[in-house]
Amino acid sequence: MFSKKTIRDIDIDNKKVLVRVDYNVPAADDGSIADDYRIRQSLPTLKYLLEHGCSLVLLSHRGRPENLNEYDPKTSTKPVAERLAQLLEREVKFVSSCVGDEAWAACEKLKAGEIVMLENVRYHDEEEQNSHDFARAIIGSTAVEVIVQDGFGVVHRAHTSTDAIARQGLPAVAGLLLEREVDTITKVMQDPERPLMVIIGGAKISDKIEILERFIEIADFVAVVGALANTFLLAQGHKVGASLAEPNDVPIALGILEKAHEKAKNNNFTFVVPRDVVVSKTIDGKSQTRIVDLSHNTWADISSYPKMPKESAFTVADDEMILDIGPFSASLIAGGAKLARTAIWNGTCGVTETKGLSGAQDPFAHGTKIVVEGLVGEAEEQNHPFVVVGGGDTVSFVESQDGLRERLGHVSTGGGASLDLMAGKDLPGVSVLWDK
């Protein structure tokens, strides 16, 4: 049960409300919004406030601006305001700063139902300094009466707009998205319907060590995929060629493998590292791909019969990169998904953003698609788990597949925040809110 007050728990009728949203969304080449998922997920909170006669001041970061004196559609929140106006079917006024005279002029006499979108809060260095002076400047420039935190993707950071601003004496409560994110993820970690399966990717083990150890403790099946798996392959003695990997983290990988091995001795537990991989010499999809059979050499034996397979069949060459898991590994994970009742999915299995040439399938998305078939089933009557999805690349893949979002249990708007919550870490942007 969410322990913090939400917009349902206080009197917000006709109030001027500052909503910290997470509109850190990618831009297309023409400057428009390439993926509006996070914007759409904020709509229930905004509509609830509007239905209660509120006027809204929206605050968000977007990317990491480099030139603060020059408008950049890839980091400005102006394109976000335009997209939000389309979704809400009402005007969203954009203000090119979040403090100062222009903000004051736009917000001072804001009427019920009116919305102002402030410029990227990271255009000010003070945002990441968790500055109380900057927090007071934002409140003073907008004349807001209530602070609503609804940016789940940023609550794991103690910044001005997540921490300091909620400490200035105004009511500080959660939005509906934040409440739903925390409740859903907390329940999956504390009381999942079993078996519990975890598919986890990423790049660095050092960034995931705590959550990997936590998953080994609570899950029944853990599969490491993506670049994260490459360091485990190094730890197992495999060559990974020019693949993205962290040789310095091999001792960490060995420690995690040992923990998994110890648990498997006495429990019904499975820890999967890819046994076959898809490699290529370039990441752009223009070079030939091949399957390297790392462990059992099944593919290599079949391809070479009646001869013995060459070493190259089960070895990644020095100039090759591992860019996807192979069909055997993908099928193994998909099979586990068929038996699971709850699944946590954080990280695609390969470089799914590389598009196929001349109408061909995306070359490094096959593994992910096989796993997805296991997670959601081929028909509604088939057994499939309640799936919680987190991580930017995973969410982007889900959104790119027609109808997939609706077949998954919960697609999170937060990557780092969801992992920190799963690991049991304190989320500063949640802790600071009013208790129920």
Q: Which residues are catalytic?
A: 38, 204, 392, 416
Measure the CA–CA gap between 400 and 418, rounded to whole angstroms: 21
Measure the CA–CA gap between 51 and 68, rounded to whole angstroms: 36
Tokens found for residue 45: 């909170």
Tokens found for residue 84: 């939000």
Measure the CA–CA gap between 73 and 238, rounded to whole angstroms: 44
Q: What are the b/e assignments for 403-424, b being 16+ CB within 10 Å? A: ebeeebbbbbbbbbbbbbbbbe
Angle, CA 404 vertex, CA 402 and CA 406 arms, to 5°: 110
Measure the CA–CA gap between 309 and 314, rounded to whole angstroms: 8
Kindly report whether the peptide bond that precedes residue 428 is cis, defined as omega within 30 degrees of 0: no
* Under 8 Å between Cβ of 275 and 264: no
* Under 8 Å between Cβ of 201 and 348: yes
Residue 293 pairs with which residues in a beta bridge? 276
Does the CA dihedral 411-417-418-419 come out positive or negative? positive
Cα 383 from chain centroid (whole Å):
25
* Under 8 Å between Cβ of 407 and 379: no
Backbone phi, psi, residue 13, to 5° = -55, 125
